[in-house]
Amino acid sequence: MDYLPWHQNNWDRITMQFIVRRNPHALLLYGASGLGKRVFAESLSSLLLCQAPMKNKHCGRCRGCVLKQAGTHPDLRHVRPESSRQIKIDQIRELNRWSVQTSQQGGYKIAIIYPSEQMNVQSANAFLKVLEEPPPQTLFILVADKVLSILPTVRSRCQSLLFSVPKHTEALQWLKSQHDHTDNLAQLLIQSGGAPLEVSKLLNGDYIRLRNDVAQNMLALLSRKTNALEKAANLQKYQPIDVLKVLESFVSKAIRLSMVKEEKNISSQDEDDAPSRLLASLEVTALFQFRDQLLKAVRYLSGNSNPNPLLLIEAIFVNLSRAQIRN
Ligand SMILES: [Zn+2]
């Protein structure tokens, strides 16, 4: 994938630095998740490893491009957490050894470190050593969703590049060009905080099946025919954050429906869908409580702590099963 339309300014700025040879040794790409920072890192790597770039893009045909596309370029490294959530010191020591070797294809050596906030203190300190005396023709690209979790001494030795949420219309236009199923793209985009790749992830990950499954388990719980722990376990196969976001979308829509109904005293057009049935089952105060709990859980899961996702969803389902039912 090439860099994305909303990356244009960042792309022009960074590639110009390489053209005039005033480029940094270390780049820190930061901003919310789902904006394509890794896509940018890969595109920049492709350009720098290409032996015959054209108009500021890689050619796709030279030896450098072929190796890059095959994922076997010897001068490109990816450093990611392995067994745990952390990037460990051994990985950084290995990276440091690699970075002082000469490049095998005669061009740049590039290392992409993601998520770079997952370097622990020892790893970050080991990495600092190589940043203090950067090897020639070597570029470190750090990618971070949570830039403040990176050691300030590391941050200060990188050129930082912020990735912002694109304009809604621009993001929507791009999403429409990528997906056949375009019914509720605008709503999904808002729910995803304006991050287009989060929406793509949902759609590519069989979002419809996820929604149906979450709806079924939630509605069974509201009908009091089942127990909460069993229903929570049914959803274990999905990413917990995705389950929470779907639940949040249901309850937010239920709340909106309740307001429309009060104002206009009309019945919902689609009584069968999950939000309508949620509204039919729960008092409005219970809906607000449910949503608060979901938002808290989303924040908790997105934070730096490492909560047990199953317990989190179980707690939400237990509370929902005890929520006040409409008479
Ligand atoms: Zn090429």
Chain centroid offset of residue 6 CA: 16
pLDDT at 267: 45
Instruction: Quote the pLDDT of residue 294.
Output: 93
Span from the CA of 60 to the centroid of ligand 1 (angstroms): 5
Alpha helices in the chain, H assignment, sequence order: 8-19, 37-49, 63-70, 89-99, 121-132, 152-155, 168-178, 185-191, 196-204, 207-222, 228-234, 240-264, 274-281, 284-302, 309-322
pLDDT of residue 82: 85
Going from the Cα of 50 to the center of ligand 1, the distance in angstroms, rounded, reads 4
**Which candidate, 199, 197, 198, 195, places its Cα nearest to that of 183?**
199
| Domains, in order of start, for the chain | 5-162 (3.40.50.300), 205-322 (1.20.272.10)
pLDDT in tens, 35-45: 999 999 999 99
pLDDT at residue 183, as a whole number: 72
Instruction: For residue 10, report the distance from its CA to the centre of ligand 1, in Å.
Output: 21
CA distances from 177 to 5, 170, 198 (A): 12, 11, 15
- Tell me the three state secondary structure of residue 282: strand
The CA distance from 196 to 50, in Å, is 28
* Cβ atoms of residues 15 and 56 within 8 Å: yes
The ipTM assigned to this model is 0.99
Helix (H) or strand (E) holding 97: helix 89-99
Distance (Å, rounded) from C-alpha 186 to C-alpha 3?
A: 22
DSSP for 23-71 reads --SEEEEESSTTS-HHHHHHHHHHHHH-SS-BTTB--SSSHHHHHHHHT
Question: What pLDDT, on the 0 to 100 scale, is given for residue 222?
Answer: 84
d(CA 37, CA 7): 9
**Residue positions counted in the chain:** 327
At 41-62, the pLDDT tens digits run 999 999 999 999 998 899 999 9
Residues whose CB falls within 8 Å of the CB of residue 8, separated by 6 or more in sequence, listed in order: none
Q: What's at 118, amino acid-wise? A: Q
The list of the chain residues with pLDDT below 70 reads: 1, 181, 225, 261-272, 304, 324, 327
pLDDT digit string (tens) for 147-193?
A: 999 999 999 999 999 999 999 999 999 999 998 767 788 888 988 88
* Cα of 281 from ligand 1 centre, angstroms: 60
How far away, in angstroms, is 191 Cα from ligand 1 center?
A: 38
Ligand 1 center from residue 15 Cα (angstroms)? 16
CA of 52 to the centre of ligand 1 (A): 5
Measured in Å, residue 11 CA sits from the centre of ligand 1 at 18
For residue 57, the CA-to-ligand 1 centroid distance in Å is 8
Distance from Cα 270 to the centre of ligand 1, integer Å:
53
